Amino acid sequence: MKTIILLIIYLLSFSFSYTQTQEIELNIEESYNNVKVSWETGNSAVGKLSKCIELNKLKEIKDCLSSIKNELLDCKVFCSEAEEKAKEAVWIAFNINCFDTEMDCESAASDFEDAESSFDDAISEVELLFEVTELKELKYNVEKIKDLLLDSLTSLERGNDNLRYALENLTNCY
């Protein structure tokens, strides 16, 4: 009788752990999907910034920046969602003692936080540029925004790699 009870408890705990690993996998997948949208939108904004720099009229550049600002806001939203899903995966991994996956998801969340911070900085810089009246200064600062955006994309890529590692390590948690 004791053996049967222990077997049932073992099977229930295994089932619970398996369900939780599926939940981690789902959170990682949702995080990845948000990263993908953020990265693609950010990459599009980099291309638009390159074209912005080539323009030679203040109004044209500012119109271009207005469009880019909206894309940056979208990048930030999707990046924030990716971070939240990665953090959810951290807690679930912690609860089932899946330490490698927990650490990888934590690293991914940190990378997404860095990306979000760079997106914030880029958005702030864009807002400041609407007041600039000199073409040379405007073009210089557009380059600065481009650098911030490239930093964000690099952080997103690092986070994405960490999500991939988390999925690989998740197989050790079954």
Q: In this structure, is residue 119 part of a structural domain?
A: yes
Which pLDDT value is given to residue 11? 42
Higher-confidence position of 87 and 3: 87
Q: In this structure, is residue 154 part of a structural domain?
A: yes
pLDDT tens-place string over residues 95-109: 988 999 999 999 999
Q: In this structure, is residue 63 part of a structural domain?
A: yes
Q: In this structure, is residue 91 part of a structural domain?
A: no
Instruction: Look up the CATH number of the domain holding residue 105.
Output: 1.20.120.660
Q: In this structure, is residue 88 part of a structural domain?
A: no
Higher-confidence position of 9 and 21: 21
Which residue type occupies 126? V
Q: In this structure, is residue 42 part of a structural domain?
A: yes
Instruction: Give every CB contact of residue 72 below 8 A, 6+ residues apart in sequence.
Output: 42, 45, 119, 122, 123, 126, 149
Q: What is the 3-state secondary structure (H, E, C) of the chain?
A: CHHHHHHHHHHHHHHHHHHHHHHHHHHHHHHHHHHHHHHHHHHHHHHHHHHHHHCCCHHHHHHHHHHHHHHHHHHHHHHHHHHHHHHHHHHHHHHCCCHHHHHHHHHHHHHHHHHHHHHHHHHHHHHHHCCCCCHHHHHHHHHHHHHHHHHHHHHHHHHHHHHHHHHHHHHHHC
Structural domain containing residue 49 = 2-83+97-173
23 pLDDT tier (thresholds 50, 70, 90)? very high
Domain count, the chain: 1
Which pLDDT value is given to residue 4? 54
| Average of per-residue pLDDT across 68-92 | 96
101 close to 22: Cβ distance less than 8 angstroms: no
